[in-house]
Amino acid sequence: MLPGVAMLTAPSSRSRIYLDLLERRGLLPELVLLLEDPSVETAEQRRRAAESVPSGTVLPEDPELNARRTVRQRVEDLGIDHRTLDTLNPNDRVVVEAVAEIDQEFLIYSGPGGIILEGDLLKAGPRFLHVHAGELPDYRGSTTIYYSLLAEGACGATAFLMNENIDEGPIVARESYPPPKNPETIDLYYDPWICARLLCKVLSLYRDEGDLPETPQRPNEGETYYILHPIVKHLAVSHIS
Amino acid sequence: MTPNVPYEYTNRDLFEKSETYEYTELEGSAFLDAYLADRADAIEALDERLTGTEQRSMNGWEGLLGALSWADPDPVQDNLPVLADLPRLSDSDGIPNVDADRVATVPLLAGLLGVPNGVPPDGEVSAVWLNRLVERFEVHKRLYAAYGTEMRPVDDEPAARIAYPMLALAALVGHDRNGSLKLLNGALKICDALSSTDANAMDAGVAALSRIALDEERSAVRALAAEKEMPL
């Protein structure tokens, strides 16, 4: 386990893929906070349930990827210290209290998407380390992987420390990635996989150096995008096919 | 030709129940065909709605702008100037300062479309307001009659329906000028809402402006596809 690092998860592909790569690279967090609410089916879960799952590799770029093992299964099998919080709202009081109790320096944020984190949570204790599937500050906001594919024919990811403004916290690291070999994998696999790769790079740096670099962003730079329209999605995918 | 996949984003009135666009499916070129068919049907319905209504003389953007209650859109459509040929106006009359503590949505949109100068301005202040309005639509899928500080609705009064095709057009002008995918994305969602509405329930002004917005949106999508060397 990597000292000084905890992780907040949701029942999502992103959390599964993060833990898979972190396990393979020997960078697992000391503590995991699992956000769960069996009474709620997220949009991603509906999408995953509707997917015709291939029996073999889900991501051509990484044949070893195991994205089917749930977060809970992996955490329990590996004996990672964990707490279950019965909510999918990261701003819920029980989450704020649980975060305030942990003593790790960094909390990898892999909670439910599309929710703006409130100050009470962000100031509760550890610093929130997040990886966004877009190069900041040019691609802030939602579904930016498609916007950058359409505009530039490439993808990117940025690790940064969260503040109360969307994708505006200080940048830790940034990388470009090639388009996916199979565009059908973007939402559930390729997007979280490139983020997981950058996360591993950042955590390796933290393990070796004991600290992370920070470069402030200028809020007036860049662009904030909103969830993309399916026509833009199709044009982006056609562009790389 | 009937597309072999449905265009599912206009199959209910989006002003009644909005669309989230989360995890939309990839359906290949058939989906693009379905989109074009949807827009063709919507434009045809709007043309039928406008048949027989009073025609007015309208030329260029000035005519378009005076036409918030016009009837037949064809004269406007035929006389729209090519955007690239327009002189560039900086922010001008009709555009409030960026830190104005109250703006009325329809007059602001009229200013963004070029009232009273006949040409849509493209200064920095106009860009700020256009982005703010597109963001408000993206977040709430609704527009309000007036906004106060930090673009909070002044009260619960909804914007007049004409605001939606006006915002779609303003966003398409912005996209045409600077290639902003964010603006095109917003225009596509607004046009879904326009296409999802019963044309016969629209007043003539809204119907006419919606028809122009849908046609301009379709042209913008085709132009982007051509620029990226994609068949459409």
* pLDDT tier, A5 (very low <50, low <70, confident <90, very high otherwise): very high
Average of per-residue pLDDT across A189-206: 98
Q: Is the pLDDT of residue B52 over 80?
A: no
A229 with B139: Cβ contact below 8 A: no
Partner A, chain B 114-143, Cβ-Cβ below 8 Å = 135, 138-139
| Class at the top of the CATH hierarchy for domain A2-240 | alpha beta
Residue B184 to residues A111, A144, B41: CA-CA distances in angstroms?
30, 14, 21
Query: Percent helix, strand and coil across chain B, each rounded to 5?
Result: 55, 5, 40
Would you state the pLDDT for residue B68? 43
Would you state the pLDDT for residue B70? 41
- B109/B133 Cα distance (integer angstroms): 9
A234 with B188: Cβ contact below 8 A: no
Q: Is the pLDDT of residue A15 over 80?
A: yes
Tokens of A167: 């994708």
B23 with A183: Cβ contact below 8 A: no
Tokens 């790790």 belong to: A104
* pLDDT tier, B86 (very low <50, low <70, confident <90, very high otherwise): very low
Tokens 């195991």 belong to: A66
Provide the residue ranges of all domains of chain B, joining segments of one domain with +: 25-227
Would you state the pLDDT for residue A73? 95
Q: For residue B26, give the nearest of A150, A237, A239 by CB distance.
A: A237
- A66/A102 Cα distance (integer angstroms): 29
Which residue of A150, A223, A234, A241 to mutate against B (max B Cβ within 10 Å)?
Answer: A234
* pLDDT tier, A220 (very low <50, low <70, confident <90, very high otherwise): confident
> Which DSSP letter does residue B231 get?
-
* pLDDT tier, B85 (very low <50, low <70, confident <90, very high otherwise): very low
What are A's interface residues with B at a Cβ cutoff of 8 A?
Answer: 43-44, 46-47, 147, 150-151, 183-184, 187, 223-235, 237-239
| Chain A CA closest to residue B223 | A235
Ramachandran angles phi, psi of B83, nearest 5°? -55, -40
How far A49 CA sits from the closest chain B CA (Å)?
A: 12
pLDDT per residue over B2-35, tens digit each? 668 999 999 999 999 999 999 999 999 999 999 9
| Chain A CA closest to residue B9 | A230
- B143/B113 Cα distance (integer angstroms): 17
Question: Is the distance from CB of A151 to CB of B181 less than 8 angstroms?
Answer: yes
B84 in contact with chain A, both atoms CB, cutoff 8 A: no
B29 with A225: Cβ contact below 8 A: no
Average of per-residue pLDDT across A107-133: 94
B135 with A226: Cβ contact below 8 A: yes
A231 with B221: Cβ contact below 8 A: yes
Which of B10-24, B49-63, B97-111 shows the lowest mean pLDDT across its residues? B49-63
Q: For residue B185, give the nearest of A46, A229, A238 by CB distance.
A: A229
Report the half-sphere exposure of A107 (CA within 13 A, side-chain side). Answer: 26
Q: Is the pLDDT of residue B58 over 70?
A: no
DSSP per-residue codes, A75-123:
HHHHT-EEEEES-S-TTSHHHHHHHHH---SEEEEE--TT-PPPHHHHT
B29 in contact with chain A, both atoms CB, cutoff 8 A: yes
pLDDT per residue over B129-165, tens digit each? 999 999 999 999 999 999 998 899 999 999 999 899 9
* pLDDT tier, B82 (very low <50, low <70, confident <90, very high otherwise): very low
B26 with A233: Cβ contact below 8 A: yes
Would you state the pLDDT for residue B228? 86
B18 in contact with chain A, both atoms CB, cutoff 8 A: no
Q: For residue B185, give the nearest of A187, A226, A234 by CB distance.
A: A226
B31 with A234: Cβ contact below 8 A: yes
A226 with B139: Cβ contact below 8 A: yes
How far A237 CA sits from the closest chain B CA (Å)?
A: 9
Q: Is the pLDDT of residue A231 over 90?
A: yes
Would you state the pLDDT for residue B94? 62
Would you state the pLDDT for residue B91? 57
* pLDDT tier, A83 (very low <50, low <70, confident <90, very high otherwise): very high
Give, in degrees to the nearest 5, the angle at Cα B182 between B176 and B183: 45
B26 with A234: Cβ contact below 8 A: yes
Percent of chain A with pLDDT strictly greater than 70: 98
Which of A159-163, A208-212, B114-118 shows the lowest mean pLDDT across its residues? B114-118
Provide the residue ranges of all domains of chain A, joining segments of one domain with +: 2-240
Which residue of A115, A229, A238 to mutate against B (max B Cβ within 10 Å)?
Answer: A229
